[in-house]
Structures are given as structure tokens and as C-alpha cells.
């Protein structure tokens, strides 16, 4: 399956996909394109290093609809079959989502459906809960609301900061996201309303 990745920044989750592919864990997966919406995104250097074509589309310079149209054009041109949002900090339009319905994955640094949005760690600490984690899910029209595929919980410690909590969760993101990609590429995700069922290996 031909995957494109969309990212806004550091790109460590994108790197986890590159590494999983290099390590032979994603044999059915091709990473065909990176799209970034920030010129300074470190994900660009990772794409260059891995020989993956990348495209910068300036989200500040155009409407949401125009951004998505341009992204869709790029994705169609390279034969994209599925999209991974790897730290892509922008909401996609319904047109984009329906084009790749049930074929867009996102990684979120909290246990959804709790703590969606761009400031998950801050919100978790402010709520005083003792558990957080990460979720790999399919993207629908809401903010981090789509069907959950995989989750991993971690403890929140009394002296945690946003940084320490993020650092405890990130390695789990790097494991869950390639695993979700692998399941999608293997045709093992069955969407049943708002639930994803993971089909057994054939
Ligand atoms: C990751 O922690 C990811 O879960 C989060 O942004 C970070 C990107 O890191 N995404 C969200 O908060 C989406 N709501 P990365 O650029 O190193 O992959």
C-alpha cells in the first residue's frame, strides 16, 4: 500500500515509519510522499535522508480548502492510497477526509477520547489524572475523534512536566504508529461504526 505522510514539525513519528520500513517491519508499505505545512519542519531533512519526495504547502498563505485541494493533487499524482498524520497539527476538510475515508491514520499523545487537541499533555496535567498514553486512530471529521485502533497507557507521575510526560509517551507512539500502518496495509482493520476491529492474521 502506498502511504503519504503529513507532518508539521520534528517528524520523529515519520522517522519511526522510515526506520520500521528499513528494518523490514513494513514490507507491504511504501512511503511515497511527505507533505509539510511548515517550511522549518525537521521532517523535511528526514525525507531527504531517506530519499522520499517532499512538498511544502504553506498553510499560512491560503484557506483550509485550498490547502487540502493542493495536498490532494500532490497525493493523487503520486498514487497515494493511504495517509498518515505524523504530528500534523491541522484539521483536514471533509472533502479530504472523504477522499481517503478509513485510510487516514493519526497518532495522538493521550488516551482518546479524552484529551483531544493540540495541547494534550498540558490538559492531562491540568486535569490531575494519573494515567495518560497515546492512541493510533483513524481520522474522521472531528478533532481526534475517529475510531481508535491501538492504545498504550503510561503513568503520570506527581512531578511530571509537559516535557517529561511527552518523553515517556513518545517511544510508545513510535511503536504504535508503524503497527497501525502495518495493520491497515495488511487489510486487517475493519471499521464497524465508531469501532475498529483488528482482524486476525490470515
Ligand atoms: C507527537 O507527540 C504527536 O502525537 C503529536 O505531536 C507530536 C509530533 O511529534 N500530535 C498531536 O498532538 C496531534 N493532536 P513528531 O513531529 O516528532 O512526530
**Which ligand 1 atom sits closest to the C-alpha of 13?**
18
Q: How far does the centroid of ligand 1 lie from the alpha carbon of residue 91, in Å? A: 14
Can you tell me the mean pLDDT for 67-96? 98
Q: 178 CB less than 6 Å from ligand 1? A: no
Per-residue pLDDT tens over the stretch 106-118: 999 999 999 999 9
Residue 92: which H helix or E strand, with range? none
Task: Give the per-residue pLDDT at 191.
Answer: 97
Task: Give the per-residue pLDDT at 83.
Answer: 98
Which CATH number fits the domain 2-198, given the four candidates 3.40.50.170, 3.40.190.80, 3.30.450.20, 3.90.1330.10?
3.40.50.170
Per-residue pLDDT tens over the stretch 157-173: 999 999 999 999 999 99
Per-residue pLDDT tens over the stretch 7-62: 999 999 999 999 999 999 999 999 999 999 999 999 999 999 999 999 999 999 99
Q: 12 CB less than 6 Å from ligand 1? A: yes
Task: Give the per-residue pLDDT at 202.
Answer: 79
For the chain, what is the mean pLDDT? Answer: 97
Phi, psi of 133 (to 5 degrees): 155, -150
Task: Parse the chain into domains and list their residue ranges.
Answer: 2-198
Q: How far does the centroid of ligand 1 lie from the alpha carbon of residue 87, in Å? A: 4
Q: How far does the centroid of ligand 1 lie from the alpha carbon of residue 109, in Å? A: 7
Q: How far does the centroid of ligand 1 lie from the alpha carbon of residue 193, in Å? A: 26
Confidence of residue 92 (pLDDT cuts 50, 70, 90): very high
Q: Whose CA is nearest to atom 2 of ligand 1?
A: 109
Q: 109 CB less than 6 Å from ligand 1? A: yes
pTM value is 0.97
Q: How far does the centroid of ligand 1 lie from the alpha carbon of residue 119, in Å? A: 10
130 by Cβ neighbours in 10 Å (0-12 / 13-18 / 19+) ranks as exposed
Confidence of residue 148 (pLDDT cuts 50, 70, 90): very high
- Catalytic residue numbers read 108
Measuring CA to CA, which residue among 11, 8, 4 is closest to residue 174? 11
Q: 144 CB less than 6 Å from ligand 1? A: yes
Q: 53 CB less than 6 Å from ligand 1? A: no
Contact 5, 34 (CB under 8 A): yes
Q: 137 CB less than 6 Å from ligand 1? A: no
Q: Which residues contact 7 (CB under 8 A, 6 or more apart)?
A: 13, 14, 34, 35, 36, 41, 43, 85, 86, 87, 88
Amino acid at each position: 500500500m502506498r502511504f503519504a505522510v503529513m507532518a508539521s514539525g520534528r517528524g520523529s513519528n515519520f522517522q519511526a515509519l522510515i526506520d520500521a520500513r528499513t528494518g523490514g517491519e513494513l514490507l507491504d508499505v511504501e512511503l511515497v510522499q511527505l507533505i509539510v505545512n511548515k517550511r522549518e519542519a525537521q521532517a523535511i531533512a528526514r525525507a531527504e535522508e531517506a530519499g522520499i519526495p517532499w512538498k511544502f504547502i504553506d498553510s499560512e498563505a491560503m484557506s483550509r480548502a485550498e490547502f487540502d485541494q493542493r495536498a490532494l493533487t500532490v497525493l493523487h499524482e503520486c498514487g497515494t492510497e493511504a495517509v498518515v498524520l505524523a504530528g500534523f497539527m491541522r484539521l483536514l476538510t471533509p472533502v479530504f477526509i472523504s477522499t481517503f475515508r478509513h485510510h487516514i491514520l493519526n497518532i495522538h499523545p493521550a488516551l482518546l477520547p479524552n484529551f483531544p487537541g493540540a495541547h494534550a499533555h498540558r490538559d492531562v496535567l491540568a486535569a490531575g489524572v494519573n494515567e495518560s498514553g497515546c492512541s493510533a486512530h483513524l481520522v474522521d471529521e472531528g478533532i481526534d475523534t475517529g475510531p481508535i485502533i491501538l492504545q498504550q497507557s503510561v503513568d503520570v507521575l506527581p512531578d511530571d512536566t509537559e516535557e517529561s510526560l511527552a518523553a515517556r509517551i513518545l517511544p510508545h507512539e513510535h511503536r504504535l504508529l508503524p503497527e497501525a500502518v502495518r495493520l491497515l496495509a495488511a487489510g486487517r482493520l475493519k471499521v464497524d461504526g465508531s469501532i475498529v476491529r483488528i482482524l486476525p492474521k490470515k
